Amino acid sequence: MSRQEQAARTRESIIDAAAEVFDTHGYQGAGLALILEQAGVTRGALYFHFASKEDLARELIEAQYRTVNQWAEDGVEGLQALINLTFTIARDLVADVRVRAGVRLALEQATFSAPVPNVYQSWIDAARAMLVEAKRRGELVRGVSVDDAARFVVGAFTGVQLASEVLTARQDIQERVADLWHFVLPALASSPQSMKYRQRRRAARAGSRT
Amino acid sequence: MSRQEQAARTRESIIDAAAEVFDTHGYQGAGLALILEQAGVTRGALYFHFASKEDLARELIEAQYRTVNQWAEDGVEGLQALINLTFTIARDLVADVRVRAGVRLALEQATFSAPVPNVYQSWIDAARAMLVEAKRRGELVRGVSVDDAARFVVGAFTGVQLASEVLTARQDIQERVADLWHFVLPALASSPQSMKYRQRRRAARAGSRT
């Protein structure tokens, strides 16, 4: 392994360790010593890659933006793309500790220190772009504001996944996201019945078992 | 002032100070020294009333349950009672630091330490009771599950107020709660048009200015 490959591998293992520790202890509770122990690296190695705990947290939060953009490009467009995205995030919240840590850190920023509106805003922007396309295709109820709808769906999704975490440690997250669409589609979709969300729930669940 | 009155007054001033400090710094960041300084009391006086920082936090969280029950008894019943409740909480989140601290601490418990499902569950139970009454009155769409609806409304409200905090420091919270009902009522209410929520928003706003 080249020195460069070794460095890249160390960097990934630090991010994984930080994700585990942030996910378990939150930002305030996550000590750098615990991250070092979990990663099995020296303090020097960590500081070679990251300037601080904040820097590590930022990396995990920013990875969320990048993923949102990837998720958005899976061939499906419009309202169904937004529906699919919520189930994919729900699945990854269960399956991927980096996603879980990123969302937790984003919410911690929201609730605990100086909020960073960009995290939220980038989620809203991604939702809005899909709703604009949905509107162009005639998939939305006439007169719906794509701004209001994007902001509402992102806010509601945030709360629904948080409630699922509190009440069932996210075991019922797929059902709760299906409920979200059940309760929102009649106000949003010109043809709610043509949207797939109960099926999608099963598909996302199956995916999370692999 | 009797000694008893003096003690009660001290207790209230400690709760107010703790609410301010928890609201600003979160649970982890709230030092007991800061609460003492803000309240202008001695450490001994604080420990006379509260066993610990946790005990103070619990007092503020539990005050939320008590208030939910009071709010629920304002003469209006069924779905309109639930709608009104969300606008009242939204208003108090802006106007009352104890409510703000209580909700923040409840969410901190959710996201950061061992979650206390009771906080959430009591909100859901309160919403469910109003929806059961709404169903009895024929106000709900046929076949709606009051369990799913109660859980969804509480989850969505949580996320919507959180998004409003992040994006606008809760300045637009009344509009965002109105959006919630705009997007949910068609799936929930047999006669969405008969429910007052845009008007309610204005009333709650006027109330918060007094």
Minimal CA separation from A120 to chain B, in Å: 7
pLDDT digits (tens, 9 = 90+) for A126-150: 899 999 999 999 999 999 999 999 9
Burial of A14 (0-12, 13-18, 19+ CB in 10 A): buried
| Residue A137 DSSP label | T
Contact A186 B182 (CB under 8 A): no
Contact A156 B151 (CB under 8 A): no
The pLDDT assigned to B76 comes to 84
- Quick one: pLDDT band at residue A86, thresholds 50, 70, 90? very high
Please give the residue that has the higher pLDDT: either A104 or A70: A104
- pTM for the structure as a whole: 0.85
Contact B159 A158 (CB under 8 A): yes
Q: Answer whether A160 touches B (CB < 8 Å).
A: yes
DSSP string for B75-142: S--THHHHHHHHHHHHHHHHH-HHHHHHHHHHHHHHHTSS--HHHHHHHHHHHHHHHHHHHHTT-BPT
Return d(Cα B58, Cα B193) in angstroms, integer: 40
Return d(Cα A14, Cα A22) in angstroms, integer: 12
Return d(Cα A46, Cα B207) in angstroms, integer: 52
- Quick one: pLDDT band at residue A112, thresholds 50, 70, 90? very low
Count CA within 13 A, CB hemisphere, residue A205: 15
Closest in A156, A183, A187 to B149, CB measured:
A183
Class of domain A54-209: mainly alpha
Which residues of chain A are within 8 Å of residue B24 when distances are taken between CB atoms?
none
The pLDDT assigned to B72 comes to 59
Amino acid at A164: S
Q: How far is CA B22 from CA A90, B27, B41, B185, in A?
A: 30, 6, 17, 35
Under 8 Å CB-to-CB from B79, ≥6 apart: which residues? B130, B131, B134, B139, B140, B188, B189, B195
pLDDT digits (tens, 9 = 90+) for B66-106: 766 666 556 788 999 999 999 989 999 999 999 999 888 87
Q: Answer whether A112 touches B (CB < 8 Å).
A: yes
Fold for the domain defined by B56-209: Tetracycline Repressor; domain 2 (1.10.357)
Q: The dihedral of CA A7, A13, A19, A24: what is its sign?
A: negative
| Segment of A63-67, A134-138, B38-42, B58-62 carrying the highest mean pLDDT | A134-138
Tokens 């979200």 locate to: A180
Domain ranges of chain A: 1-50, 54-209
Q: Answer whether A31 touches B (CB < 8 Å).
A: no
Return d(Cα A92, Cα A96) in angstroms, integer: 5
- Quick one: pLDDT band at residue A189, thresholds 50, 70, 90? very high
Return d(Cα B120, Cα B194) in angstroms, integer: 29
Amino acid at B185: L
Tokens 């999608």 locate to: A200
Provide the ipTM: 0.84
Q: What is the mean pLDDT of chain A?
A: 86
Q: Answer whether B157 touches A (CB < 8 Å).
A: yes
Domain formed by A1-50, architecture: Orthogonal Bundle (1.10)
Q: Answer whether B167 touches A (CB < 8 Å).
A: yes
Which residues of chain A are within 8 Å of residue B166 when distances are taken between CB atoms?
109-110, 115-117, 119-120
Amino acid at A183: F
